[in-house]
Amino acid sequence: MDNGMDNILDTYLYESNSLLDQLDEMLVKDEKEGDFSPDDVNEIFRIMHTIKGSSAMMEFNSLSTIAHHIEDLFFYIRDKGIESLNPGHKRELFDLMFKSEDYLRSEVGKVESGSPLSDNIDSFSSEINEFLKKISVEKSSSMEQEAQEYPAVPKARPDAPALPQDPKAVCFFHVFLEEGIGMENLRAYIIVNALKECGLEFRYYPADMESNPSVCQDLIDNGFFLSFESHEAAAQAEGIIKSQNYIRSYELLDSPDHTQDRDVPAKTQDSPAEDNVSLPAAKPAAAGPSVSAPSHSPVKQSLISVNLMKLNSLNDIVGEIVITESMVTSSPELNLLPKESFDNFMKSARQLRKLTHDLQDISMSLRMVPISGVFQKMNRIVRDMKQKLGKDVRLTIIGEDTEVDKTIVDSIQDPIMHIVRNSMDHGIEETQEERIEAGKAAQGEIILSASHTSSEVVISVSDDGYGMNAQKLLAKAAEKGLLTKPESEYSQKEALGLIMLPGFSTNQAVTEYSGRGVGMDVVKKNVESVGGTISISSEAGLGTTISMKIPLTLAIVDGMKITVGDSIFTIPVSNIRQSFKVTEEQVIHDEYGNEIVDCLGSFYPIIRLHQFFHMDTNAPNIKDGILIWVEASDCSYCLLVDSLIGEQQVVVKPLPAYLNTFELKNYGISGCTILGDGNISIILDILGLYAAAIKNM
Amino acid sequence: MSNHIESQAEKQPEIQTGSPSVERCLVFESGALSLFMSTNYVIEIINGHSITPIPMIPSFIKGILNLRGQILPVVDIRLYMGHEEMEFTRQTCIIVLQVDSLSLGIIVDSVQQVIDIDLANVRSIPVKRQQKLLDGMVTLEDGRVLMSFDCKALINDPC
């Protein structure tokens, strides 16, 4: 049971979060256009309705109440048409909606983390109600008119306590809900649903209770009716009603038999009730006379959500299959087969290979998600900061369909957010005048773009603001004592890289959005933790571009297998620039005996891998081994290894948790992989190796 | 080899099965010591797997091995307990343990049998010197003395 509850909660969280994401996207888009489209009004209404319903079901009262109020608000707006709002109101509505979205989000977040929901929702709900009042006051005169033409539902039932018109019914249940439970219509509908699930044939009145919040008062005063065509069904229903919560009292009434007039218009009866019975998630149809049913039907999503754990184990197994396949097909025992059977075997084996590779491709693509989710969130950040900082900035998004591994998407969201905030806060000029003086368009621009290369995703954030002044950065770094060599020796690129040092922040003042001590150094660390690199280019006065290069996936690496002694190591091919042989004479020594080599006119240190790892080697002389010139992020050096074996795609596996205490990552060992013959190869982390070997030299 | 052990275990008379402190234990040898541990920790006994050494870790961790796709660290408990390393023989095998959801293999000189041991009879080791991996000793009915192997100490203190 507990488990079931967890599943429901997971579903609830997933659903609510995706609805809120959808809402956010819609709001940002609509605000840009300065108007809500009628479709979107319907959509917001639907979203709020769903959130309200599911939250009430889960008994998250703060969520359902707020959603309920917003639903009311949009019920009104939908009723009157969005055109009835003046631009001022619309602006206010946008602010209110963003605020509500944030509120709902924070509450959902609380549910997620298991902390208690806030009780104090009155001030916020009254804010929504006041806005509703404000927009409705101006329309009140016309509304009254309409109200007379189309009386509101409660008023349309002066005889509500009396039994509803239902000629076929034999008996009725008259049910009263407990007082003060809130959202009576929904509670009543939950009871109705419970009965429906038991397969009972019945009708209920008021028939529109789940979609029309205004019947609440009616339900409180007069209760609601369930009509049955047979006494047996009624007796069954009684048992179910007894087990339901929130029922104050109920009574069984026999139908006064066909004494009543049958010519009562049927529109409030069978048809809407029947419709709603067949569609539990029915659209709020026929809720108000002037409302046409929403014009679009919900798009059936051909998506399912899958537990990430399951996906990971699927990927692991597929990785194993690929390896096992090559183990089987390259097994030396096959040579013992007679020629003919061997050919037959290889024919099937080729088929198997093709299929396993297809399988691998598919399973890898399962983890890929478009980056648009992250980019959309930036829209919101830019919008909020625009208002707070009073800067006019437009965010241009390019390539949001680019697909990236799920883990990577999760870990680059914060870095991107930080960079966008930095650009907004410090990059773009303070005032429009300043921009115009500098000969730029009055409106600032931040471009967020993503694109694929063969093995990497390049994400860049560029602004057309102040740009960075290398001299200023150098002076600042000198002041903080962060320089490691004379100022004059820093190249432009190196100077810009200074901002990614820990303890460096060019802005003295801490603002709400940036400068909270979490600087670019954290951004750099995050990007590097997923195997990416970050680079900055900037032209003073023209703007800044920060690009991140991130591997498409962490699970599979194109590796170069190398040997040292009897061990096989794997180096990511993306880190390798070149491999070459040198003789003793070409090696230059510094005063401490460190070895240096000249590659294409620059000098790079040599790390003898066997020395660093204290291993045996088959190539004690540098001329017997081979040098691999590797590069990662901002470091570049040469590794001496015994020999190269060849290139292979490998599935990265973490080292056993038992070894975590030794922090092998700090020694440049990032994981391992299983080779075709079942042996294990250790994957080297070029950056970590550099940090361990060169920095400590 | 594992079949051989199991068949022995079946022949072993079930003593005091009613007592809650009786546990089925695996008896093995390492560096002239006879050791036992509860079979609850033992997943399987393997031999003939090649171990990939890992640089930059203490020498008692021999490396990692690939057990049907699962990567396991392998500890030579002889080295851990400060004894001399021994060449692998036909008897040498790796016991795969799972302790607190962590899997690892330990290299032992040989595996002997599975017997029932009443844990209530296990006495503490009288020598004051700190015992790294042993947390008790027990005398069997046939007069043999076995040492209790402490799997948790191995997991909790990998240094």
Query: Using the beta-carbon criterion (under 8 Å), do B71 and A613 form an inter-chain contact?
Result: no
Chains A, B: CB contacts within 8 A come to: 68
May I ask the CATH architecture of the domain A171-258+266-278?
2-Layer Sandwich (3.30)
Burial class (CB in 10 A: 0-12, 13-18, 19+), B77: buried
Query: Using the beta-carbon criterion (under 8 Å), do A656 and B103 form an inter-chain contact?
Result: yes
- Work out the minimum CA distance from B71 to partner chain A, whole angstroms: 6
Domain boundary assignment for chain B: 2-156
- Work out the minimum CA distance from B142 to partner chain A, whole angstroms: 38
Dihedral over Cα of A182, A183, A188, A191: its sign: negative
Whether residue A295 has pLDDT greater than 60: no
CATH of region B2-156: 2.40.50.180
Contact in structure between A552 and A405 (CB atoms under 8 Å)? yes
Residue A633's pLDDT band (cuts 50, 70, 90): confident
Query: Using the beta-carbon criterion (under 8 Å), do A659 and B54 form an inter-chain contact?
Result: yes
How distant, in Å, are the alpha carbons of A145, A188, A226, A238, A240 from that of A252? Answer: 39, 17, 9, 9, 14
The mean-pLDDT minimum among A185-199, A219-233, A272-286 falls in A272-286
By Cβ distance, the residue of B64, B66, B159 closest to A678 is B66
Report which secondary-structure segment, H or E, holds B65.
strand B61-67
Query: Using the beta-carbon criterion (under 8 Å), do B66 and A657 form an inter-chain contact?
Result: no
B27 reaches A (C-beta below 8 A): no
Residue A256's pLDDT band (cuts 50, 70, 90): low
Whether residue B16 has pLDDT greater than 70: no
Higher pLDDT residue, A285 or A518? A518
B52 reaches A (C-beta below 8 A): yes
- Hey, what are A304's tokens? 């399912």
| Model confidence pLDDT, tens digit, residues A531-553 | 778 888 888 888 889 998 887 76
Mean pLDDT, range A512-528, rounded to an integer: 67
- Express as a percent the part of chain B with pLDDT over 70: 84
A314 reaches B (C-beta below 8 A): no
By Cβ distance, the residue of B52, B66, B104 closest to A658 is B104
Mean pLDDT, range A494-501, rounded to an integer: 80
Q: Which residue of B has its CA nearest to A320?
A: B69
- Work out the minimum CA distance from B76 to partner chain A, whole angstroms: 14
At A562 the pLDDT is 94
Pairing of strands A595-599, A588-589: antiparallel
Residue A265's pLDDT band (cuts 50, 70, 90): very low
Residue/partner pairs of A323-331 with CB below 8 Å, 24 or more apart: A323/A651, A323/A674, A323/A675, A323/A676, A323/A678, A325/A352, A325/A353, A325/A356, A326/A353, A326/A676, A327/A676, A327/A677, A327/A678, A329/A353, A330/A676, A330/A677
Query: Using the beta-carbon criterion (under 8 Å), do A679 and B66 form an inter-chain contact?
Result: yes
Residue/partner pairs of A502-509 with CB below 8 Å, 24 or more apart: A504/A476, A504/A477, A504/A480, A506/A426, A506/A468, A506/A472, A506/A473, A506/A476, A507/A425, A507/A426
Burial class (CB in 10 A: 0-12, 13-18, 19+), B110: middle
Mean pLDDT, range A450-458, rounded to an integer: 80
Name every chain A residue with its beta carbon within 8 A of the beta carbon of B155. 658
At A352 the pLDDT is 92
How far apart are the two ends of chain B, measured CA to CA in Å? 31
Highest mean pLDDT among A191-200, A260-269, A587-596, A673-682 belongs to A587-596
Whether residue A145 has pLDDT greater than 60: no
- Work out the minimum CA distance from B3 to partner chain A, whole angstroms: 25
Nearest alpha carbon to residue A405 among A369, A375, A372: A369
ipTM for the predicted complex: 0.82
Helix (H, G, I), strand (E, B) or coil at A369: strand
Whether residue A176 has pLDDT greater than 50: yes
Name every chain B residue with its beta carbon within 8 A of the beta carbon of A653. 71
- Hey, what are A623's tokens? 């001329």
Whether residue A220 has pLDDT greater than 50: yes
A556-693 CATH fold: OB fold (Dihydrolipoamide Acetyltransferase, E2P) (2.40.50)
Contact in structure between A409 and A371 (CB atoms under 8 Å)? yes
B55 reaches A (C-beta below 8 A): yes
Q: From CA A543, how far away is CA A547, in angstroms rounded? A: 13
Nearest alpha carbon to residue B73 among A327, A324, A568, A660: A660
At A355 the pLDDT is 92
Mean pLDDT, range B128-149, rounded to an integer: 84
At A27 the pLDDT is 83
At B74 the pLDDT is 94
A683 reaches B (C-beta below 8 A): no
B159 reaches A (C-beta below 8 A): yes
What does DSSP assign to residue A649? E
Measured N-to-C along each axis, helices A140-149 and A122-137 cross at an angle, to the nearest 10 degrees, of: 80
At A156 the pLDDT is 38
- Work out the minimum CA distance from A327 to partner chain B, whole angstroms: 12
Helix (H, G, I), strand (E, B) or coil at A568: strand
May I ask the CATH architecture of the domain A369-551?
2-Layer Sandwich (3.30)
Number of alpha carbons in the 13 Å side-chain half-sphere of residue B32:
4
Helix (H, G, I), strand (E, B) or coil at A527: helix
Residue A286's pLDDT band (cuts 50, 70, 90): very low
Mean pLDDT, range A623-639, rounded to an integer: 89
pLDDT, averaged across chain A: 77
At B152 the pLDDT is 86
By Cβ distance, the residue of A567, A613, A614 closest to B52 is A567
- Work out the minimum CA distance from A628 to partner chain B, whole angstroms: 20
Q: Which of B49, B62, B66, B152 best tests the A interface by mutation, with the highest count of A CBs <10 A?
A: B66
Residue B159's pLDDT band (cuts 50, 70, 90): low
Query: Using the beta-carbon criterion (under 8 Å), do B104 and A656 form an inter-chain contact?
Result: yes
Residue B37's pLDDT band (cuts 50, 70, 90): very high
Q: From CA A675, how far away is CA B119, in angstroms rounded? A: 44
Query: Using the beta-carbon criterion (under 8 Å), do B64 and A662 form an inter-chain contact?
Result: no
Name every chain A residue with its beta carbon within 8 A of the beta carbon of B56. 613-614, 662, 664, 667, 669
Q: Which of A321, A568, A639, A658 best tests the B interface by mutation, with the highest count of B CBs <10 A?
A: A658
| Model confidence pLDDT, tens digit, residues A301-346 | 577 778 878 887 887 788 778 777 877 887 778 888 888 888 899 8
Mean pLDDT, range A464-481, rounded to an integer: 82
- Hey, what are A218's tokens? 């009616």
- Hey, what are A508's tokens? 């003295």
Q: Which residue of A has its CA nearest to B50?
A: A679
- Express as a percent the part of chain A with pLDDT over 90: 9
A615 reaches B (C-beta below 8 A): yes
- Work out the minimum CA distance from B48 to partner chain A, whole angstroms: 13
A657 reaches B (C-beta below 8 A): yes
A682 reaches B (C-beta below 8 A): yes
Amino acid present at A469: N
At A264 the pLDDT is 42
Q: From CA A570, how far away is CA A559, in angstroms rounded? A: 6
Q: From CA A150, how far away is CA A155, in angstroms rounded? A: 10
- Hey, what are A265's tokens? 């218009």
Query: Using the beta-carbon criterion (under 8 Å), do A674 and B158 form an inter-chain contact?
Result: no
At A518 the pLDDT is 55
| Model confidence pLDDT, tens digit, residues A554-576 | 667 788 999 999 999 999 998 89
Mean pLDDT, range B134-148, rounded to an integer: 89
Q: From CA A123, how far away is CA A145, in angstroms rounded? A: 31
Mean pLDDT, range A344-363, rounded to an integer: 89
How distant, in Å, are the alpha carbons of A626, A652, B64, B71 from that of A682? Answer: 19, 9, 10, 12
Whether residue A204 has pLDDT greater than 70: yes
Paired with A605 in beta bridges are: A596
Domain boundary assignment for chain A: 2-149, 171-258+266-278, 310-367, 369-551, 556-693
At B128 the pLDDT is 61
**Homologous superfamily, domain A2-149:** HPT domain (1.20.120.160)
Q: Which residue of A has its CA nearest to B99?
A: A658
Q: From CA A455, how far away is CA A408, in angstroms rounded? A: 14
- Express as a percent the part of chain A with pLDDT over 70: 81
